[in-house]
Structures are given as C-alpha cells and as structure tokens.
Structure 1
Amino acid sequence: MVTKVQLAVKEEQSRQIPPSALQLAYTDRDGRLQLDESVVQRCFLDAEVSEYSLCLICVIGETRRGKSTLLNYIMRALHCLERHQPVSLGQDEEPLSGFEWRNDTDGVTKGIWIWSKPFILERNEEKMAVYVLDTEGSLDIEGDPETCLKLSALSMLLSSYLIFNVNACLKTTELDYLGMYLHVSELTGESFSLQHLQHLDVLVRDWQDPDNCGREAARTYLQKKSEKLREQKSSEYQRVLDTLRSSSVSGFLFPHPGKRFLRASQGTLSDMDEDFRNHLTRYISELMAGIWFHQKTDTSGEKITSGHVGRVLKEFVIMLQKRSFCFTSPLQMFYEFENWKHMNSVLESFQDFLDQQLPANASPFRVLWVTPSEMMTRVSEQTDVHLDKYEGILSRYNTAKKEMHMEEMKSQLKEKQESFCAEYSKRFTKCAVGIGCVVGGGVLSLAGGAIGAAVAETVLAVEAFGGAIALGAIGTGVGAGVGHVIGNVEKEKVTKAERSTETSKEDTHHLVDKKD
C-alpha cells in the first residue's frame, strides 16, 4: 500500500515537471544492466498511457555520429503531429534542445535514454503513444562486447522503428554489429513473444557523393552491398544479406551538414548546408507520414500496449540481474532467456499444484481430511516431479551450467515447499479447534463440552508434531467452554418444558449419563 501511494505521488509530481531525457537503463562498473524502475513507471506504466498502443523510435550506432541531433528534430515534428499541425522542424534560428548533444568527440548519453513524456497521437478515435529513445554504447568498438550485447538486445526489445546510424558507409565493423543486432533481435523477440524486427532504417551520414543522396540512392547502395555479400558466399553475413533484401528494411543517405553546423553550438536549421537541411526535412516528413504503420506488435502481429512493454522490460532486466551472467554470444543470451522462461514455467506449475491442495475457500472438513504429514509427503513428491521436469529441459547445457541451474531450482522449490507446509499445519490446527467449537456448542447441547473437546483433541492428537498436545488442550478448553454455556441454556429450556414421552426422558438421561 505504501509503495502504491509513493508511486501515485511520483506520478503526480512527474506531470508537473517539464519533459526531459531520462536514463532508462545503463550498465554499472561490474557490467550489470541496471534499470530505473521509476522511469519505467512514469513512461510506460502510468495510468494515462499504459493502455495505449505504442511506437518506439530508437537510434543506435557509434558515438558522436549525430544520433541525439536527429532525435531532437524528430521530436519537433512529433510535437506538430501531437498538436494536429503540419510537420515542421522549427524556426530557422531556434536553438536545438531535447536530448543533450554537443559537437565534440566525447559521448554524452551512456546507456539508453528516453524522452520522459511520450507523444500522444490520435487518429480515428484511436490513441497511440510514441516514444523516442537514444542509445549510447550499443556499438562501441573500443568498449566491452558484453555491454554492447546487452544494450543492443534491450534496444531491439524496445524499438518498433530502429534507425541504424553509420558514418560514410557500411564497413565490415558495422556489418558485424548489424549481424549481432539482427541475431539478438530474433532471439530476444522469440523469448519475449515480440515481433523481432518490425522496421530497420539504415541511415548513412556524411555520404561521399553529395549529389546522390536520399531514399532512392540508399536503395541502390544497399542492393549493391547485398550483391557483394552474396558474392562472398560466406555464411557469416547470411542473416545480414537476407535482412537487407527484406521489405522491413529501408535506407537513407545524408550529405555532410556543413562546417558551420559542426562549429555552431546551437544546432539551428540556419547553420546547416541547404542540401542537408532539405534531406533532413524530407527524411523526417516521410517518417511522420508512416508513423502509424510502425506500432509495436507481438509475434502474432497483434498490437501491444505501453504497459505490456513496461512489464516485459522489467522482466528482461530482472532476468539479467538474477545472477552474474557472462554473455559471449547472442545465442548464449538466448539460452539464458529461455532458461528463465522455463524456470518460471516450472515454478508456476508447482504453485498451481499447491493452490489446488489448499484453495483459499477450502472448507475445514476438506483441510482435516489430509493431515500435515500426509500433505508434506504429497508436496515432497511433487517437488521431485517438477525438479525432474526441469532437469529434462536443461539438456543443452554443459555439466557445470546444468548443476548451477539445478541447484537454483532446487532452492526455490524447497522454499515454496517449506512455506506451504508450515502454512498448512497452521490451517489444519485452526480447523481442528474450530470443529471442536462447532461440535461442542451447536450440535450436542449439554454434552457438547466434553464431545467438542474430544473432537478437537482427537483430531490434533492424530498428528505427532511439536505442539500438538498443547494445541489440543487449547481446543479442549474452547470446545468445553462454548459447549458449557450453550448447554446450560438448553438445560433451563428442558426443565421448564413438559416431557411428552418417556422416550424423550430416557434420551435426556442417556445424554447426561454420557456427559458424566
């Protein structure tokens, strides 16, 4: 309850704060992927947007290649769409703002940053939230490969329109990273039931031929690149080759923005060379025109919501934080994702079994039908069954990895087993005492005290576990006490009433004799 109140307060405060770039995810010094859950809550799980469909525009690529600048101009266009105005990149002298940027060699954004307020677009009474994300470190040639792998996987998981930003041309390094991105995209999407690559836009900056730029020029360039890859007859780039030929990939060649723009600190439109400005305007206008075609979908092609992406995002990072992973390849990451899914599936199956043994609305008689020792045997057997089931899933792992996963599963199943059995014992004792009260007070009248006590004590005495005798004594006292009070009332009624038959007298004496 306290957590919900705190989140509600944060949501209200966030609405009063001007939008800005927030760090959604990053890797710490130990290489662990960290997630700011308050950002997830604010951007994806807030009640205002959680049920909207969404489009996620994400830019990946090398450091200091104009990614943040591009996103800031995309946001200007989205502001126009949100206000139902014609698309515009702003005034000529308007300073560039939004994601932090500067024209030097040091990167600004580390990890994945997201604009704190999604742009809400509306069409035919349908609303869609558009998110803008900037990634730094997913293509860091001098950085840690594992960090690149994690950030690229997260970028792929989040994006529905992915812009692969490269400089001058598609070099071998970019092709290697693109192959990794695609592999991660395919495996990660499969693990979380999300469409793995909805749209990839290969954007080449500072193209060598300024007179031959734009969308059509990029199509020709990608076709030639595909032909060269095909001629190499190497399986290494087969995934890249297949992707470049698909309809989900497009490209755009940009000329150099001009020396004045690079030297300027404001990033205004007036500082750009005219041809670069024209191509930038055309590129962003085309993106805005097709924005509704890039809604995030699952593997079956169904649109998903912002809330769904937020929950998947949290699950993704929790899985990575579960223990210290060392990913050397996208395939290894995929195996860990799959293991996480299988582990949760087995634990959920075991929990379903436990819920069936002791439903929340189970009657006391149903509980008393199975003693705690019998229930412990049942649960122990099912623990072994689920452990064997999980072991069969781990066939692809080596011995050391398999043993590690088995120990973790054994620990979690044992924890659930012990918690359930302890709760069942308490419930069993409570039901035994309750039955003693009911039998003693409400059914047997004058004899209820003794019989009720006997019921409670007898039921509890069946179990030879610690505290049974003491609890039996408590059951005896409660049953006898309730039976005594109600029995006295019934005795007064019997004394005042006329006995109509000798049979009833004999029955009454019989009961009293039994009590004595």
Structure 2
Amino acid sequence: MSDYLAQKLSSLLKLVAPNSDPGCALQLLKPIENGYEMDKVTLVNLVEHPAVKNNPVVIISICGAKREGKSFLLNLLIKYLESNMQEAWLNEPDTPIPTHFSWKSGRKAHTQGIWLWSKPYLIQKSNGHKVAVILFDTEGSYSGTGKQNDSDIFAFSTLLSSVQIYNMKDEINELKLESLAAFTSYTERAGTKTESGQIFQSLMLLVRDWTDDEFQCGVEGGRKYMEEELQNKKVTDEDLIAIRDKISKVFRQVKCTLLPYPGAIVDNKDKRHRQNTTQVKVSDMSGDFKEHLRIFFHILLDECTEPKEVGGRIIKGDEILNLSTKLFNLLRTKEIFNVSLTLKELDAAKAQTLMQQLQKEYDEKMLAISKSYCSETTVDEEHKKYLHQAMEKYNNEYNTSYTSHKNSFKQLLIDAITNLLNKHKQVRSAEEGELRKKYEDMTEEILTEHWSQITGSGFQAFGTKPKDLNSVQCELGTDAYYYEYNAKLMRKIRIAESRWECIKQLSEMQRDCINDYKKIMEKVIKKDFLTKDGLEEQNQICRKKTIKRFKANCELKDALVDDIQKQSNELDQQLSEQYKAVLVVYQEYMELKQKEFEADFEKVKKSYMEYIDMITRNKYLQPDDLQIVHDNFIKMMICELKKLDSATNMKFEEENQLITYTKQQLTDQYKHISDDMEKRKEDIREVSHEEVMELIKKIIYRFEKGVWKQNWFRQTFQQN
C-alpha cells in the first residue's frame, strides 16, 4: 500500500493558481411543490468564474442513500483542495473536520435538492491537462420525498456531471443500485456508441465502512469486488439483472473504491459528540481511513476527472449553462426519463456546444482582423473565409440522425456569425474613429506648434524639422493610418509654410500701400485751397484706390482668400489710423499758414497805412475827400488782384469773400486815419501819382506772393 501511495503521490497532480475566495455551499436545485426551482444566478456566477469560463470542466457529483456520509466526504475533498492538494493536514490532529456542506448524524435527511460549492478549483492533472473542478452534493435517496424525487435528483446530477460518485455503505446490492434502474432504458440507444456517443462518463462506486477481509480496501480491491458483485449469478430479478448487465455499457468508465470505517466519533456512535459535528477533528478519524482517503482523492482527481462532454465534444465553463438549462427544462416538464426527447435535447446541446466553439474561434480570428485596422473590404473577405471554415467544421464534426437539427442549427450558426461580423464591424469602426481622432488631434497640435514657431521666428523655423506622429504610433502599438496621417501632416506643414510666405509678402505689400498712401496724403495736405471736407474727400478716394491696388496684387499670390481678406481689413484699419495722423498734420499745417497769413496781412495793412499817410499829406485834400481816396484805393487793388493767376482758380464766392475781408480790414484802418486827419494838416506835403502806384504795386505783390495763395482762406471763410 505504501509503495502504491508513493507512486501515485509522485505524479504531477497539482492545484493551479490558488485563490483566497473562501467559497460557500449554495443550493442550485430546490424542491418545491409540484416540481423544482433552479437558481440560475448561482450557476451563472460559477461558470463566469475565471477558473471555469474558458477551461474544460469536471463536475463531481455525489449521490446515494441518505445519512451515509456524502456531505462529510465532500467536506474532506474541499479541505484536500484548499490545502493545495497536500495531505499534510491529515497529520494535524487538532484540525477540525470542515462543515462546508452541512452534515449531521442520525436518521433524518439533512441535504435537500442539489447543492454546489461556489468556489471552483483549477487543477493540473499528471498528464499536464488543466480542468476546472466543480463539486455537487445531492439529496440522499430514501429521504422520504418519494422514489420519483430520488430518481429526478439522480438523473439531473448524473446527466450534468462528468463524475458521479455513487456512495453506499457496507456493500453493493440490488437495493443500492435501484436508483440506476431508470437509466437502463438509455442503453437501448445510447449504451455504447451512437451519434451522441456515450451519455454518461465516469461512475465511481464508493463503498463505505468496508470490513470484509476478502477484498482489501482501495481501488484494486474495489475493482475485484465490483466485478464479482456485478456478475452475481444468484440474482433472478430481470430488472436487477438488466442493471448489472448494462451499467458498464451506460457509463464510459466504472470504478469502485472500498473505504474503511472512519471511526466511532465520526460515525457519532460516541455519545459525547452526538449532534455536534463542529467538534469532530482529524484525530477522530481512524488512521486506516485517512490513509485510504489520500489515495482515493488522488485517484478521483487524476484518473476519473475527464472533462464534461456532450456528444463526444468537451464543453467549457461558459457552455455548462446551456446544458444545465436544457436538463432543467426536461426535469421541470417531467420529460427527463423520456429517452427519445432527452437524447434529442442532448443532441441539441451537442450542436450548440459545437456552435459556441465555432463562434468563439471565429470571434477570436475576426478580433485579430479588426484589431489590424484593415479596410472593410478585407474584413468582408476574411469573414467569408472564416465562415466557410466554420461551416466545414460544423458539417464534419456534427454527426446526427436529427436532420432538422443539422439544418436548423446550421442556419443559427450562420446568423450568429453574421451578428458577430456586425459586432466586429461596429467595434472596428469605433476603434478606427478613436484612432483617427487621436491622429487628427495630434496633427492639429503639431500644426499649431509649428505655425507658432514659423510665425514667431519667421523663415528660420523652416530649417527645423517639425514633429511627426510617432508618439501616437508608439502609444497604440500599430502603424495603422500612421503613414496616411503623416503624409497629410507633411502636406499641411508645407501648405502652412507656403501660406506664411504669402502672408509675409502680403504684409510687405500692406506696408508699401500704407507708405504710398502717406506720401499721397502729404502732397494733398499742401494742395492750394484744400479745406477739411476736401481733405476727407481726398482720403476716401486714396483709401479706395490703395485697397483696390492691394487686392489686385494679392490675386497674383498663392494666398488663401481668408488671409487676403484679413490683410485687407487690417490695411483698411491701418489707413484709418494713418488718416488720423494726417488730420493732425493738416491741422498743424493750417495753423502755421494762418500765422503766415496774419503776418503777411499785417504787412498789407502797413502798406495801406503808408499810402493813406501819403495821401493825407496832400495840402489840397479835404477831410471829405478821404473817403473817395479810400474807395479808389480799394477799387484799384481789387482790379489788380483779379488780374493775378492765382485768382483765376478761385470760385466767385471765394473771391468775394476775400475782397470783403480785405475791404473790412482796410476800412477799419481808414476810420482810424480819418479820426486823426486834423492832426496831419501840420505836415501836409505833395505826393506824386507815381509814388502812390508804386505803393499799390507793393501791396499787390504781397497778395501774390503771400496772402493770396494761403489755403487758410478757404477754411476761414467756410467757418465764417
């Protein structure tokens, strides 16, 4: 025994990635009035567990008569798994026996329906294969709920599990095997090889409290005992004969293990521990029991744990839900013993399992395609290829006698794959949109930065290579769209640089236009007889010509319309600012000319006074004659003024205004002289006509050279 144990324990059976989840017992199938209720949420949570979802699944179920230690055995199995499949804990005497699945001694049944352990265990067998182990505990037979309930529970757990432990005490007999009677009918169609393969996988006949020395405890003694018992010729009942004859044909693998008595305390024959299972410890189990328990667990998990199959196809965790739902529907409709219907449903489960696998394979392949950011045409081509592969595999691997299944599930597979294609196209479109947005955002960022460089430092920045889109490429780990967007970026950079050159040329043209405007307006300011209104008129004309010339020149440049309009608007605004400066210069110029005019006119008045002074010194001149002299002077002066070239450019109203102004000024001087006429009598002398004309010419000369040509006249007369 020790050599066998050492050989077995040296295998590579181990627990993969232990987790800290404590686990708990949850009721999966609950008997209710007139039927059952399945907790689908609990099952969903279990099959969605990372250890289960994408791995082959082994469901170990234990069934048998009530009060024969099923829950107790499962608790020990959980402890074995929780201890990383190391039996050292069996050598720790004070370690309590777990009560994960509640158990009590006595005659009254404790477990109802089917319970499962919420924590799956991912193990690696000695052949290197990994499987996810799920544990079921079932309600005991003969628990008082009736044979139909016993058969239902046994049927559901056996059809769903890959390993069914059939727990018995003392021996194998006809009564113990009665629960298997209902399944003999399956042998008519599914006993050996059918289109669905063997329905039932592993059966472990576990005989507890073994005391017969004829057969040793353990697997080898169990094998010999099972062969003799199942071939017992003394049995005369035809149904029981059928059970014994066909049990090996219904199950793919049948083993038997004999376990010794665990001890009086565990069995609660020691009154001190009655009804108090929480106080049972490892030390309360017999040494012989613990030794064979080690071997049993090891063989169970390494040799009996074939993954769950449907129709010869291994199913994984996420496919268990479909199978369990179908079996529950059969159980709920009381059709689970309808061989024809059950086989048909199992065949459907086989088809759906294959469909799920083919969909998953297609999904994984198409995921790689959609992640490659290829064109939609390529996606469609790859879809056709992978759809064809899926159909070939479906036709080759789904062998069935149900023609309707073959066609209907094929169409369902096509529809499902089509839906997956649409999903991938949507995902691809969304991911492409996200990726393109990242490139577009980065492109705009680079363009903005480069534009800032070239506009800030001029053409010197053109010698510096701008950034590219490597950061986006590195972030995404793919060069999809990189070359496309990088080429666009380089083109936009060249356009931006060309645009900046155009803008600089436009700016130079703008400056030239402003300088030309300034030169023209400087000349306009000095133009003869220009009033303020005339200056505004000249400004409008000059501005329009300047902007028109600017736009005409812009058409010869490779510039954007927006840039031209912007520069044009800026030019117009700057011309407005320049005109303000022109007005200031004009005002200063007019003030200067006013002062010059006033100085020149003072000289005119002085000459007039000299003339009057000469006239009034004529001894023959009477005071009454002074008015005549003044009037004659004015007439002669006006006559001479009209002969001047500058006067011919004056309007009639302007000429009259000047004459009126001059007459007024000289008349004021005349009044002053007239009042002082008598005093001048003392110094009267003779004045010749030549002297008078010479003086008048002096005055006229001043008008010609000075006063008469001043622009200030027009401005002054208009204001008056």
TM-score (normalised: structure 1): 0.55
Q: How does 1:346-425 map to 2 (within 5 A)?
A: none
- Secondary structure (helix, strand or coil) at the match of 1:49 reads helix
C-alpha distance in structure 2 between counterparts of 1:169 and 1:21, whole Å: 29
C-alpha distance in structure 1 between counterparts of 2:194 and 2:150, whole Å: 19
Q: Is the 8 A contact 1:193 1:298 kept in 2?
A: no
**What does residue 315 of structure 2 align with?**
304
| Stretch of structure 1 that moved more, 15-24 or 51-60 | 15-24
Once the two structures are TM-superposed, the CA of residue 36 in structure 1 deviates from its matched residue by 0.6
Q: What is the letter of the counterpart of residue 60 of structure 2?
A: I
Once the two structures are TM-superposed, the CA of residue 71 in structure 1 deviates from its matched residue by 0.9
> What's the Cα RMSD here?
4.2
**What does residue 263 of structure 2 align with?**
258
Q: Is the 8 A contact 1:120 1:127 kept in 2?
A: no
**What does residue 161 of structure 1 align with?**
163
C-alpha distance in structure 1 between counterparts of 2:200 and 2:64, whole Å: 17
Higher relative contact order (CA 8 A, sep 6+): 1
Once the two structures are TM-superposed, the CA of residue 308 in structure 1 deviates from its matched residue by 1.2
2:175 to 170, 173, 176: 173
Q: How does 1:27-426 map to 2 (within 5 A)?
A: 27-30=31-34, 32-46=35-49, 49-81=52-84, 88-89=89-90, 91-97=92-98, 98-122=100-124, 128-137=130-139, 139-140=141-142, 142-181=144-183, 183=185, 193=196, 195-209=198-212, 212-229=216-233, 232=236, 234=238, 236-244=240-248, 248-263=253-268, 265-290=278-303, 294-299=305-310, 301-321=312-332, 324-325=333-334
> Do the aligned partners of residues 77 and 137 (structure 1) sit closer, same or farther apart at CA in structure 2, a change above 3 Å counting?
closer
Q: Is the 8 A contact 1:109 1:134 kept in 2?
A: no
C-alpha distance in structure 2 between counterparts of 1:257 and 1:138, whole Å: 20
**What does residue 437 of structure 1 align with?**
none
Q: Is the 8 A contact 1:186 1:197 kept in 2?
A: no
- Secondary structure (helix, strand or coil) at the match of 1:257 reads coil
- Secondary structure (helix, strand or coil) at the match of 1:164 reads strand
Q: What is the letter of the counterpart of residue 162 of structure 1?
A: Q
Q: Is the 8 A contact 1:165 1:205 kept in 2?
A: yes
Unaligned runs of 5+ in 2: 1-18, 269-276, 350-401, 423-720
C-alpha distance in structure 1 between counterparts of 2:151 and 2:39, whole Å: 19
Once the two structures are TM-superposed, the CA of residue 187 in structure 1 deviates from its matched residue by 7.5
Once the two structures are TM-superposed, the CA of residue 173 in structure 1 deviates from its matched residue by 1.6
Once the two structures are TM-superposed, the CA of residue 203 in structure 1 deviates from its matched residue by 0.8
- Secondary structure (helix, strand or coil) at the match of 2:325 reads helix
Q: If you compute each CA radius of gyration, which structure gives the higher value, 1 or 2?
A: 2
Q: Is the 8 A contact 1:202 1:251 kept in 2?
A: yes
Once the two structures are TM-superposed, the CA of residue 235 in structure 1 deviates from its matched residue by 6.1
The number of residues matched between the two structures is: 336
> Do the aligned partners of residues 104 and 331 (structure 1) sit closer, same or farther apart at CA in structure 2, a change above 3 Å counting?
farther
- Secondary structure (helix, strand or coil) at the match of 1:282 reads helix
- Secondary structure (helix, strand or coil) at the match of 2:334 reads coil
Matched, 1:24 2:37: no
**What does residue 13 of structure 2 align with?**
none
| Stretch of structure 1 that moved more, 211-220 or 324-333 | 324-333
Q: Is the 8 A contact 2:208 2:258 kept in 1?
A: yes
Once the two structures are TM-superposed, the CA of residue 279 in structure 1 deviates from its matched residue by 2.1
Percent identity of paired positions between Structure 1 and Structure 2: 23
Q: Is the 8 A contact 2:124 2:130 kept in 1?
A: yes
C-alpha distance in structure 1 between counterparts of 2:51 and 2:224, whole Å: 44
C-alpha distance in structure 2 between counterparts of 1:46 and 1:19, whole Å: 12
Question: Per-residue CA shift, 1:244-293, capped at 9, x if unaligned?
Answer: 48871111122222212223643322112222222222322332443xx6
> Do the aligned partners of residues 47 and 271 (structure 1) sit closer, same or farther apart at CA in structure 2, a change above 3 Å counting?
closer
Once the two structures are TM-superposed, the CA of residue 225 in structure 1 deviates from its matched residue by 1.2
C-alpha distance in structure 1 between counterparts of 2:172 and 2:139, whole Å: 18
- Secondary structure (helix, strand or coil) at the match of 2:279 reads coil
> Do the aligned partners of residues 193 and 122 (structure 1) sit closer, same or farther apart at CA in structure 2, a change above 3 Å counting?
same
TM-score (normalised: structure 2): 0.40
> Do the aligned partners of residues 227 and 261 (structure 1) sit closer, same or farther apart at CA in structure 2, a change above 3 Å counting?
same
Once the two structures are TM-superposed, the CA of residue 139 in structure 1 deviates from its matched residue by 2.6
Once the two structures are TM-superposed, the CA of residue 330 in structure 1 deviates from its matched residue by 5.9
Q: What is the letter of the counterpart of residue 279 of structure 1?
A: H
Q: What is the letter of the counterpart of residue 36 of structure 1?
A: D
| Stretch of structure 1 that moved more, 346-355 or 326-335 | 346-355
Q: Is the 8 A contact 1:182 1:240 kept in 2?
A: no
Q: What is the letter of the counterpart of residue 166 of structure 2?
A: F
- Secondary structure (helix, strand or coil) at the match of 2:266 reads helix
Once the two structures are TM-superposed, the CA of residue 334 in structure 1 deviates from its matched residue by 5.5
> Do the aligned partners of residues 287 and 354 (structure 1) sit closer, same or farther apart at CA in structure 2, a change above 3 Å counting?
closer
Unaligned runs of 5+ in 1: 1-14, 362-516
Q: What is the letter of the counterpart of residue 309 of structure 2?
A: D
